[in-house]
């Protein structure tokens, strides 16, 4: 029998069949074997979830919170998420605007499926987070890239954005702060993007997973400009060191949230109750936790930037926020893939290939600075030594 798979299999495959995480997994294995490896390839801070959050989950489990829950999430959690949105955007928002989902990633996927389908187009900003092509194409829609050039500090090219809109365009997906560039969209960027979306009747999906750890614990808001057309997705993963808990949200107009409920019913059936209790505890600690995570990242960004200063062929790009820094390695004469492989083999430092984030970051590599300062300094020394060994 000839076995067949659905077309979605191709839509979600890595471009060119290349796994951008290959070196990362090799590095993990080498580290497990005791090798002196520095892994800066993934954005998962090596710090523990706050104790009261863990305690709340344990108490909820022991208290029997192990049954089905509301599909869109418990009302007290949805209310707290709405309150975060009010604090960050200044716009009104209630539990009716909120769906609790399994992380920002789940929110992106749900938004894609609810907003577009075959024959439609979704615009994204290149560079973009590595899951965007698959998340967007899973809906059947075509992905259209609009550049954010390195020469413009990776801010999106609004003229190109406007030019990319066609009668088939349904939505613009973007992240602020961006992963990989760390760019926070400026008020002017947001004005321009909201204006294009308003005139062409487009949705905007604003991925704000790093917003809580940006300066002031918020970013200029697209939702505040266009509440009926903006879907905001986020989570506790980065702000509260809760990547493994898989809890996040989608915030949008209530009619969209009703559709999300239908989709969540057949896809997810709700987030575990004890995880939601933990999320409530996390949001009750939000201001202090976000402030300390912001400081944690700020200190480490400065350490890595200093450690990489004045390398003739490797230029770090200053990120506004988040936990990543792009390094321009074009002057080394190697492609980013060659640089990464060589760096890992000779110095045992694992970074991620910028090409995995789009065409604009081909020739760049991405370092995560959510690591111990001494480790970042040592990574800087190793990168410097490797770059020097290449000459040029």
Ligand X SMILES: Cc1ncc(COP(=O)(O)O)c(C=O)c1O
Binding residues vs ligand X (CB under 6 A): 43, 103-105, 129, 175, 179, 207, 209, 235, 237, 243, 248
Q: Which is nearer to ligand X, 105 or 332 (CB)?
A: 105
User: To the nearest whole angstrom, how small is the minimum distance from the Cβ of residue 81 to ligand X?
Assistant: 13
Q: Which residues are CB-neighbours of 391 under 8 A, at least 6 positions away?
A: none
User: To the nearest whole angstrom, how small is the minimum distance from the Cβ of residue 342 to ligand X?
Assistant: 26
Here the tokens at position 358 are: 């789009």
Residue 232: phi, psi to the nearest 5?
A: -105, 130
- Distance CA(266)–CA(268), nearest Å, equals 6
User: To the nearest whole angstrom, how small is the minimum distance from the Cβ of residue 98 to ligand X?
Assistant: 15
Residue 58: phi, psi to the nearest 5?
A: -65, -45
Q: Which is nearer to ligand X, 275 or 390 (CB)?
A: 275
User: To the nearest whole angstrom, how small is the minimum distance from the Cβ of residue 339 to ligand X?
Assistant: 22
User: To the nearest whole angstrom, how small is the minimum distance from the Cβ of residue 265 to ligand X?
Assistant: 20
**C-beta separation of 329 from 363 below 8 A:** yes
Q: Which is nearer to ligand X, 104 or 229 (CB)?
A: 104
DSSP summary character for residue 65: -
Q: Which is nearer to ligand X, 364 or 386 (CB)?
A: 364
Residue 30: phi, psi to the nearest 5?
A: -65, -40
Please identify the residue of the shown chain whose CB is closest to the bound ligand X: 103
Q: Which is nearer to ligand X, 322 or 332 (CB)?
A: 322
User: To the nearest whole angstrom, how small is the minimum distance from the Cβ of residue 296 to ligand X?
Assistant: 16
Here the tokens at position 96 are: 């009716």
User: To the nearest whole angstrom, how small is the minimum distance from the Cβ of residue 210 to ligand X?
Assistant: 7
User: To the nearest whole angstrom, how small is the minimum distance from the Cβ of residue 315 to ligand X?
Assistant: 22
* Inter-CA distances, 208 with 174, 221, 246, 291, 363, Å: 9, 10, 15, 16, 26
User: To the nearest whole angstrom, how small is the minimum distance from the Cβ of residue 237 to ligand X?
Assistant: 3
* Inter-CA distances, 14 with 20, 51, 76, 238, Å: 8, 37, 39, 25
Q: Which is nearer to ligand X, 278 or 390 (CB)?
A: 278
DSSP secondary structure of 19-32: -TTHHHHHHHHHHH
User: To the nearest whole angstrom, how small is the minimum distance from the Cβ of residue 54 to ligand X?
Assistant: 18
User: To the nearest whole angstrom, how small is the minimum distance from the Cβ of residue 20 to ligand X?
Assistant: 13
Q: Which is nearer to ligand X, 108 or 387 (CB)?
A: 108
Q: Which is nearer to ligand X, 186 or 243 (CB)?
A: 243
Could you give the angle at which helices 336-347 and 373-390 cross, rounded to 10 degrees?
110
E strand or H helix at 126: strand 121-126
* Inter-CA distances, 12 with 4, 44, 139, 381, Å: 16, 23, 10, 38
Q: Which is nearer to ligand X, 43 or 147 (CB)?
A: 43
Strands 248-251 and 230-235: antiparallel
Q: Which residues are CB-neighbours of 53 under 8 A, at least 6 positions away?
A: 240, 242, 278, 281, 282, 285
Q: Which is nearer to ligand X, 104 or 276 (CB)?
A: 104
Q: Which is nearer to ligand X, 77 or 311 (CB)?
A: 77
Q: Would you call 138 helix, strand, or coil by DSSP?
A: coil
- Distance CA(219)–CA(222), nearest Å, equals 9
Cα 117 vs. chain centroid, distance in angstroms? 23
* Inter-CA distances, 226 with 87, 167, 229, 231, 278, Å: 17, 20, 6, 10, 31
């Amino acid at each position: 029998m000839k076995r067949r798979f659905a077309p979605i299999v191709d839509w979600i495959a890595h471009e060119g069949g290349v796994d951008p995480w290959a070196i990362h997994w090799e590095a993990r294995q080498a580290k497990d074997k005791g090798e002196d490896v520095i892994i800066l390839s993934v954005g998962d801070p090596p710090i523990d979830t706050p104790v009261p959050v863990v305690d709340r989950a344990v108490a909820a489990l022991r208290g029997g919170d192990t049954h089905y829950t509301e599909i869109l999430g418990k009302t007290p959690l949805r209310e707290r998420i709405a309150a975060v949105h009010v604090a960050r955007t200044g716009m009104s928002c209630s539990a009716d605007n909120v769906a609790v989902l399994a992380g920002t990633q789940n929110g992106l996927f749900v938004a894609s499926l609810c907003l577009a389908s075959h024959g439609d187009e979704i615009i994204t900003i290149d560079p973009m987070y590595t899951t965007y092509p698959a998340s967007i194409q899973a809906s059947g829609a075509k992905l259209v890239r609009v550049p954010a050039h390195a020469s413009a500090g990776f801010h999106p090219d609004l003229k190109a954005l406007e030019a990319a809109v066609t009668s088939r365009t349904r939505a613009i997906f973007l992240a602020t702060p961006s992963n990989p560039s760390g760019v926070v969209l400026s008020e002017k960027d947001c004005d321009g993007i909201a204006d294009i979306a308003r005139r062409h009747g487009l949705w905007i999906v604003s991925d704000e997973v790093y917003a809580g750890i940006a300066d002031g614990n918020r970013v200029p808001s697209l939702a505040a400009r266009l509440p009926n057309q903006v879907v905001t997705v986020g989570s506790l993963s980065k702000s509260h060191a809760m990547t493994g808990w898989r809890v996040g949200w989608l915030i949008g107009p209530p009619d969209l949230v009703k559709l999300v409920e239908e989709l969540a019913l057949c896809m997810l059936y709700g987030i575990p109750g004890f995880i939601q209790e933990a999320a409530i505890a996390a949001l009750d600690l939000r201001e202090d936790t976000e402030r300390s995570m912001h400081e944690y990242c700020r200190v480490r960004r400065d350490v890595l930037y200093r450690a990489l200063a004045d390398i003739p062929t490797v230029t770090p790009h200053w990120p506004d926020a988040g936990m990543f820094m792009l390094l321009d390695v074009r002057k080394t004469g190697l492609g980013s893939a060659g640089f990464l492989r060589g760096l890992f083999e000779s110095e045992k430092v694992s970074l991620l290939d910028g090409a995995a984030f789009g065409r604009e970051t081909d020739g760049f590599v991405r370092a995560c600075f959510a690591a111990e300062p001494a480790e970042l300094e040592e990574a800087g020394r190793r990168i410097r030594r490797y770059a020097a060994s290449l000459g040029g």
